[in-house]
Structures are given as structure tokens and as C-alpha cells.
Amino acid sequence: MSVKKYWKAIEDLNEDSVVMNKLRNNEFVEEISTEKFLTDENLKNGSTSRRDFLKYVGFTTAVASLSACDGVVEKAIPYVVKPETITPGIADYYATSIADGHDFASVLVKNREGRPIKIEPNNQAKYFGTTNARIQASILELYDNNRLKFPQQSEFEISWHDADYEIKTALTNKSASGKQIVIVTSSMFSPSTDEVILKFKKKYPTAKHIVYDAVSNSGALNAFEDITGTRALPLYEFDKAKIVVSFGADFLGNWLGGGYEKGYSKGRSLGDEDKADDKAGNKGDAEMLQHYQIESVMSLTGANADFRYAVKPSEQTYALIKLYSLIVGGYDGVGNLKINNTVIDAEVRQMAKKLKSAGDNGLVVTGSNDKNMQILAMQINIALKSKAMNLNKHVHVNKGNDKDIQQLIIAMNSGKVGALLTYNVNMVYSLANSKEFVRGLDKVQLKISMSKFVDETAKLMDFNFPTPHSLESWGDAMPIDGEYALIQPTIKPLYNTRQFQDNLLKWAGVEVDYYSFLKKFWQKNILTKKEGATWNKSLYDGVFSVSTNGNANADYERGLLKINIAYVVKKAVRFWNKTKGTELELYVKLSMGNGVMANNPWLQELPDPITRTSWDNYLTISQKQARELGLKNWNEANGAMNGSLVKLTKGNKTVTVPVFIQPGQAYGSVGLALGYGRKVGVKSEMQTGVNAYKFYKNFAKYSSNIEIEKLEGEHKFACVQLHNTLMDRDIIRETTFDKYKNEDKENWNPTVTVKTEKGKKQVAEVDIWKSSNIEKEAVGHHFNLSIDLTKCTGCASCVVACNAENNVAVVGKEEVRNSRDMHWLRIDRYYSSDMTKDVADENGLSGIGGTAEMYDKMEIASNNPEVVFQPVMCQHCNHAPCETVCPVVATTHGKQGQNQMAYNRCVGTRYCANNCPYKVRRFNWFQYAENDEFDFNLNDDVGRMVLNPDVTVRSRGVMEKCSMCIQITQAGILKAKQEGRKLTDADIQPACASACSYNAIVFGDINQKSSAITKEFNSDRKYYLLEELGTQPNLMYQTKVRNK
């Protein structure tokens, strides 16, 4: 074989080339001039002596070594090999799902430099593609420094290897001795996990899997099982309903696993977004879902209803039976109960009439966990042939079975259980009969907890195995028949954790990791259901959908026949038979959920949308009952709210709890939120509220015979809104659907004018300023944001999204009491008042005294008020009052419409905050980051990993406020420019808009005629907040429309 020869130059081909030879032999072609240098005669005359030379050498060495000591670079490690997909400064998005046992959502996770920093909804997901406040906040749970970081045996670290060996041996023994091995998990609707558990059961035949939901939906599951034979939930599709009657169902909050936001929003849409070009008058065919709510505690859902009736739980039952009898017929009276005499008889008749005429567009739902109530509601829907309750597409997000849990406790106490494996449940905390459970726990020899935290339950277990966060895990889910979702890790596990499934596989002796197992399982069982489906594509999408067929009406007739309604009604009524005294409703707050995320400061500080109170739970009580019992809420001199304390007693259980006087609370009932009062595995700051699970006996949401006794002392609340009514000011514009549809815009959304010497003029025409170029020329981008008050429900997920995106500091309970919350975006909640200017006129209240009396009465909310929500952030005024008053020009106007804050120029005179009519500016009263006084996520190396690197962490003494997410708009503009195309709406969605499940927040460039914001800008419903001031905001609101 000949040696192939390569040549570099033409000379190479010439064998005897002189040049080439020379090059080959001499490495340095040119002569090195050392000779010349050394022989230089001038060198001798040089002034540099040997000693000088040594001095120089010595000095330079010293300098070199000294400079090496300087500036240790900490924790900045450059990539040796840069990962292909990571470009510093550019975010990556991964589709995955969050499933923490209480909430489920298909999400996109924003990753920067390998760190997940933000959760956004996955819009590809047909169902559960929305993020509530807890989902948004779950990113912070990932970086919780309180998480369990390594496997433990009796509080000592143990290696996985040793642990596996011990557990395998123990499990084999237990299985061999015939003792039960019980796995208790939260609701898992993961097909592959079911398979893993099967494998485990195969290895240990005595193994049993029990599902436990801290907040149970067993009632609905059992009801549906009774009707259809399948233990699942029906799929409620609110967009298909025209009339919704809800008996205490908080379906915008936590009802049946949640996820109903999109449907409701679609149902509530006025139909104007699709045809914004139409002028008024073309709204004739618009339809809007009408929403009735009958409830005791004021819920978010109730606050958004068109008609809300404050009715205590027992009366709700009677009302539902009454409704049933009116629609389906037959049950006018049960036993000695005269159903004719419900407290809202006329209203129920009205609802029945409407539901009947709506037919299959009607929907009745109930929030009760009583099976019988659920059956009644479902039966009404079946009778109506409701399109909105899909009986054939089942929802699996909740699977918990109350009976199994009670049996488990009995089995544990009788010593039948040999091993207890818990995963993602905290039964010691959340069981009403926690004491029995703990007693039973003593009789179990092998106790294994798999959890992210050492919580109340884990503390009592032999083995504590840390599990990774959803964002560090692999997994899958089937929340709804045919709708699959995948979970993929977005970061390498931060701690020495191992997934639940990996553990079971290991202990079952299956030597394969869960990822491979999952992939194989999908390729074999799931991807085969649809042609052309691939693993990678599904992983990329995060969701995978298989069309299921089935006729929604198939089961209706059968279902009706199967149920003995007389028996159901009797049982439903029996629950209230011995009712005396006050009734208690246990509810779940949007912020805290069932309590698993108690250690999350974002959620602790998130004000409840209704009470606007953070860092607490409390007994909500009606104004009337509070008066009777002498209970009070009052404000201290600095405005901070305090409340009386009461002793709440039910049977032998008591708790000391503060009262919160809640307008709209049904008289004779009180409410208390679950999910508070966590003590173990939770930082001391976050140990807030009282544990209401005590009263969650038999998982009954409602209970009666409650005694309330006033105690001495007071409780300090952290309430961010001290004033609850609108004072009859033009702040929220509201109209009825009828008026909106049929009347001229000026009647329900009048143009704001001012009187001048030249007659009435529109506000914009009266101006002392020269209009800027941006207004005159409409060049470049001009960003506007619109908030639709009809769609906004006040759910507050935008608030948490804003916290995450903009590194907003948590300030703690005491500072919230001092009215110094840092939220850039707040959601104002107003109640209606019985006193208005019209009423004052009628009653002849005039003159100074009369007016003072009128204003006094305006401050009092009605007994059952109408509620409005208004998200308020910086209005980005084109003529901003804050900009003119800053002495150092730290706040200025951007060319794209933003009102900008230069943090490093701010000296903190706070004049801008004073002069802001919207009071949206937030001042850094203290150093909130890296300060032990504020020991939240910003004071924690792990917690700080959640920080968005694009947004400055503000220091003490500077003003801050909403920036309209300028980091996002700038990045979007750059991206569009790089790709050589026009900016689209999708490039520039700020955190609040993308988090909004109801599509209430629309953002975009009004100089682009095709953008969604242009439609909002031209909408009839548009108005500006405090327009009469002439601030010319770049934020607009859309008039609230109530369907009544």
C-alpha cells in the first residue's frame, strides 16, 4: 500500500526544492537574534545593573504573586464543554407537568443556565393547561432549603445501598409472615406508576395500595361510582353550560382537583373578542354563562357569581333537594322536613325554572363531600341531559378513598400491618383522627416515609427517603381518559433523592431505573394508541392525547334508574337531623391548598383574594353573629388589623382561633381554612394559623353543633386591604349583560369629560403638556396592557407569577401588618355597600353633617355584598405624576410606553409614591435580600437559585414597581429582530398575562393593528382607571359585565 502524500505548497512536489529542505531542517527559518542582542555594544552602557535587574525580577514576581491573591472568583465556573442546548442569557423551555398530589398542571418550565426559574402554563394542553397560584409557586418549593437532603434511618444518614438491603429483607420477612404491606400515596394517576406498584405487589403479595387525599373528594367519586359503576369523576365542561347553579362548589378554587378555569372563562366570555371589529349593536347573539352560587363561606367562585346567596350548609342541602324535586320531581317532603320551607325558596324556584328552560345547557354542582349530595347534583344534570357534565370522559386527578383510610387505621391498630410505606402524604398532620393513626403506627414494625420533607408523619417513621420535586422527576399522568401528560426533569436533582417509583422498583427487585421503565412502558402501552406518536415528540409537547369515543348521553337513562333517590335524600337529610347551633365549613384557600406547601413564603404572603389577609387562617363569621357574640375586628393606630379570639368547640375537640368578620358569610355558619397550623419541617416564620383538620372528621366538609366562645386577648392579622368598599367612586365600571348587549355604550361606559370654559371636553383634550412623539407618531412599539374585569376572577396566580418573574421580596407577617407588602401587582377586592349617593339623596343626607354620615356608612359592606376584583399594577401613565416629581430623574418614560425605574439612580425620597394616584409603588424599607431579619428565600443560597437573572434584586432604600416585564419585551423584540420578522404577541407576554388562566390580561403593541391588544383598545368596554386625572395610562380596564 502506497503512502498517500499530501502537499502544502507547489514547492512540495519538487523533491529537491531548496526552500522545502530549509524549512524541513530549520524550525526557525529566520535567525534568532540573541547573538545580535548580546553583542550590542550599547548594552554595556545601559544603566540597568545586575542589582537593578534582580530588583525588577523580585518586584515583578511579588506583584505577580500578589495580584494572584486578589479577587477570588466564587462559584463562577465556566463551562469546559458548553452544553449544546444552553446559551448563557437565553432561556430554554421544557414541557412537563407538576403533580404534587393536590394540584396537577401541564406546564412549561423556563430554564436559565440550567436552572428552572419560572413555571408557565402549557397552552398545548387541552385540559389542566392552567397554572394556579400554587402551581406558580411550586418552583420555589424546588429550592426549599428545608427539604430532606439524604436518606435517613432514625434521623441518621444512611446510604441507599444499605437502606435497600435492609428494606428488602424486612419486606420479604413481612410478606412471608403474611402481614400486610401498605403503600399510602396521594392521588397518582400515573399509568406507569400503577405498573410499578403491580410489580411491587407481585414481589410482595401482601402489599396493598391505598390512596389518600388530605382534602377528600370521596363523596363525588363514590357518587359517580354509584351512578356509572366507575370510580372516577365526570368531566365538567363549563364552557358548554349557560346556567350554572353551584351549591358551595368552589370550582374556581379547589373543587374536585381544579382545572376548570379555562372552561369557565370561555363560558363567561362576551363573544366580543372574536369579532371586535363589530360595532355596538351586533352583540345580539352574544351569550354569557349565568352563574348562581349558594354557599356559606364566601369563596372565590361565589364572589364571581352573578347571583350569590349566603346560605348555611344545612340549608344548602334542603335547597338542593328542593331543586331536585322541582326539576326531576317527586320529593316535596322527606320525613318531618318540609322542603317547601327552604330559606331561599323563591330563588330556588327561579333557578329551577331557568335550569329547565336551559335544558342541556344547565349544570348543577355541589362542593359537599357527602356522597348523597353529589348524587343529587349529578342526577339533576342527568335529568337535564347536561352537556356540561361529560359522563364518559372520566377525570382521575382525585382517587382518594376515605373508607380505605379508616380501615387502614383499624388494621394498623389491630397489628395486621407489618409495613407502612407512605409517599407524599402527611397523615399525622391531616387526619382528623391523627391520634389513632399515631397509636396504630406504634404497632407497625417497618415504617417508611418517602417525602420531600421531614414532616409530621415522616418524623415518626423509621426510614425517611427524600423524593425529588416534580421538576427533578420523571413521570407520567393520565388526568383524564385519553389525555396523557409527561413529567421530565428540568434540573439534576439538587439533593441525594430518589423517586418513589425507583424505590419500589428497587425493592421489587426489578433492576431497571424508572426512566427506562417509563419509556418502555409508554412505547409499549401508550404511544401505540396513536399512529405516528413518538416518545420524543410527546416529551417535547408534554402532553399526549388519544381520542376516545363515546356518547355522552349513553349512561343517562341507566343512571337515573339505578339510584334510589328516596334513600339518598333521607341520608342527605339525616346528616343534619341533630343540627343545632352553628355550622362549620372547612374550606381550602387558594394560597395554601391542603398545606403541603406551608413552607413556601410566596404562598404564605399571598393575600387571600377574598379576605385579603395573608400569613393566617381564621374563623370567618357573619357580621350579625359577630355582633351577637361581641366579636370584633379593629385596626391599630398604624392600621394593622386585629381580631378577637374565640374557642371553637366541636365535641371534644377545641381550638383557639381568631375571628375574621366576613361580609357574605351565611348567618349561623362559620368557615375555617384547612392547610394551616403546620409545625414540623416548616420554618418558624411559616408556622402560621391553626390546624383545622382536627374538625375534618370522616372527611366531612361541613359539621354542625359548633360552639363558639369568646376569649380574652387578640390576634394580629396581616391584612393588606383595610378598606373594603368603593365609596361610590368611579373606579370599577360595571354593567349588566342586558345593558351591555342592548344599550348604547355611553349608558354603561360613559366617556369621561371635564368641564372647561369652552364647554365639556374629553379628558385627553385638556392638557398642559405637549404630547410626546410616541403619542403623535405611533412609531415603533407602544405597549399597552388590558385587564378584563369580566374575566378576572381574582385568583391571584398572576401575583405569584409576578413575584417569580421579578424577584419580588417576601417581607413577612409583621411588615405586611405595617402595610409594606412588596407585591408589584395587587388584586383589589371591593364589596358593595348599602349606602350610595343615590340612597343618601333619598334619605336626605346633605350638608356637611349628612355627607359625613353618608361617607361613614359607605365604609360598611353589605351583609351579602356583590364583589368585584381589580388587579392594579403600575398604570404606566403617559403623563405620569411620579416622573415629574423625582428630583434625580430616577423614574422616566420609556419610548415603548413604559414608566421606567432606574434603581441605581433612586435616592429614595418616596415623593413618587406619594404622588402616584394608584399607589402601586413599592419602597424597599429595609434590605430584604441576604438579611437575617427577613429569613425567606432571598436569604438563602438555595432559595436564591430561583432568582431571575434578568431582573435586578433591589437594594434597601430604592423604589420599585411593575416594569411591564421590560426584560421580556426587550428579549422578545431582540428575538424577532434576529429572526428578521415582526414582533408577535407571543414574543412579549409579561408574567401576569401568561399566567392568567382566564385570559383576562392581554398585552401587546397597539401600533400593530393585528395584535390582540388593539382589539381590546378599540373595545366598547374599555376605560381607564382615574381617567379624569389626565394621567393617560397605558393600562386599560374592560368594564365588568354581570349576567343578571
Partner 1 sequence: MEVHKINTPLILGNKTYKDITDDVTAPIKNKAGKLWWFAFLLSFSAFLAGVGAIVYTISTGIGVWGLNNTVSWAWDITNFVWWIGIGHAGTLISAVLLLFRQKWRLSISRSAEAMTIFAVIQAALFPIIHMGRPWLMHWMFPLPNTYGSLWVNFNSPLLWDVFAISTYFLVSLMFWYVGLIPDFATIRDRAIKPFKKHIYSILSFGWSGKAKHWQRHEEVSLVLAGIATPLVISVHTIVSFDFATSIIPGWHSTIFPPYFVAGAIFSGFAMVQTLIIIMRKVANLKNYITIYHIQMMNKVILVTGSIVGLAYATEIFMAWYSGVELEQYTLINRATGPYWWAYLTMVLFNVLSPQLLWFKNLRSSIVFTFILSIVINIGMWFERFVIIVTSLHRDFLPSSWRMYSPTYVEVLIFIGTLGFFFTLFLLYARTFPIIAQSELKTILKEENSIAKNKQANQSKEIK
Residues engaged in binding partner 1 (CB under 8 A)? 635-639, 721-727, 729, 731, 815, 818-821, 826, 828-830, 848, 851-852, 855-856, 870, 872, 881, 884-889, 905-911, 913-915, 917-919, 921-927, 956-959, 1026, 1029
Nearer to partner 1, 499 or 613 (CB): 613
Exposed/middle/buried for residue 985 (C-beta within 10 Å: 0-12, 13-18, 19+): middle
Q: Which lies closer to partner 1 via its Cβ, residue 553 or residue 884?
A: 884
| CB closer to partner 1 out of 93 and 855 | 855
Q: How far is the CB of 230 from partner 1 (least distance, A)?
A: 47
Minimum CB distance to partner 1, residue 803 (Å): 16
Q: What is the DSSP string of 297-353?
A: S--HHHHH-SEEEE--HHHHHHHHHHHHHHHT---SEETTEEGGG-TTHHHHHHHHH
CB of 917 to partner 1, least distance (A): 4
Q: Do 890 and 905 form a contact (C-beta atoms < 8 A)?
A: yes
Q: How far is the CB of 871 from partner 1 (least distance, A)?
A: 11
Q: Measured from the CB of residue 474, what is the shortest distance to partner 1 in angstroms? A: 44
CB closer to partner 1 out of 406 and 818: 818
Smallest gap from residue 836 Cβ to partner 1 (A):
13
Nearest to 323 by CA among 360, 299, 294: 294
Give the three-class secondary structure for 931.
coil
| Shortest Å distance, C-beta 829 to partner 1 | 8
Sheet holding 389-395, edge to edge: 233-236, 389-395, 475-480, 483-487, 543-545
Helix ranges (H only) for 328-433 are: 345-358, 371-384, 402-413, 427-430
Query: Contact, 474 vs 514, CB < 8 A?
Result: yes
Amino acid at 603: L
Burial degree of 886 (CB within 10 A; 0-12, 13-18, 19+)? buried
CA distance 457 to 355: 47
> Smallest distance, Å, CB 611 to partner 1?
13
Q: Where do we find the cell 397489628?
A: 415
Cβ–Cβ under 8 Å, residues 130 and 997: yes
How far apart are CB 624 and partner 1 at their closest, in Å?
A: 24
Q: Which is nearer to partner 1, 344 or 720 (CB)?
A: 720
In 3D space, the residue among 103, 253, 256 whose CA is nearest the CA of residue 610 turns out to be 253
- Rank residues 150 and 925 by Cβ distance to partner 1 and give the closer one: 925
Question: How large is the angle between the packed helices 565-574 and 371-384, nearest 10 degrees?
Answer: 140
List the grid coordinates of 710: 369568646
Counting DSSP H helices and E strands in the chain, the numbers are 35, 44
Nearer to partner 1, 533 or 872 (CB): 872
Radius of gyration of the chain (CA): 33
Q: What's at 928, amino acid-wise?
A: Y
Q: Closest separation between CB of residue 638 and partner 1, Å? A: 4
Cβ-Cβ contacts under 8 Å for 773 (sequence gap 6 or more) = 779
To partner 1, the closest distance from the beta carbon of 798 in angstroms equals 16
Q: Residue 321 to residues 223, 252, 568, 953: CA-CA distances in angstroms?
A: 16, 24, 10, 56
Nearer to partner 1, 540 or 769 (CB): 769
Q: Between 391 and 811, whose beta carbon lies closer to partner 1?
A: 811
The residue among 883 and 987 lying less far from partner 1, judged by its C-beta, is 883
Q: Which of 482, 894 has the CB closer to partner 1?
A: 894
* Least CB distance to partner 1 at residue 921 (A): 8
Q: Which single residue is written with the C-alpha cell 365542561?
A: 237
537 or 723: whose CB is closer to partner 1? 723
Q: How much helix, strand and coil, in percent to the nearest 5, is found in the chain?
A: 35, 20, 45
Q: Alpha-carbon torsion 535, 541, 544, 545, what sign?
A: negative
Whether 644 and 604 have beta carbons less than 8 Å apart is answered as no
Residue 705 or 836 having the CB closest to partner 1: 836
How near is the Cβ of 909 to partner 1 at its closest, in Å?
A: 6
Q: H or E element: which one contains 205?
A: none
- Max CA separation in the chain (angstroms): 128
Nearer to partner 1, 619 or 958 (CB): 958
Beta bridge partners of 868: 830
Closest approach of partner 1 to the CB of residue 841, in Å: 14
Phi first, then psi, for residue 185 (nearest 5°) are -130, 165
Give the shortest CB-928-to-partner 1 separation in angstroms.
9
**Minimal distance, residue 71 CB to partner 1, in Å:** 23
What is the b/e burial string over 627-658, where b = at least 16 CB atoms within 10 angstroms of the residue's CB?
A: eebebebeeeeeebbbbbbbebebeeeebebb
- The residue (of 456 and 821) whose beta carbon lies closer to partner 1 is 821
> Residue 120 Cβ, how far from partner 1 at the closest point, in Å?
28
Judged by beta carbon, residue 288 or residue 958, the one nearer partner 1 is 958
State the burial class of residue 114 (Cβ atoms within 10 Å of its Cβ: 0-12, 13-18, 19+).
Answer: middle
Q: Please state, as a whole number, how many other Cβ atoms lie within 10 Å of the Cβ of residue 129.
A: 21
For partner 1, the closer CB: 139 or 912: 912
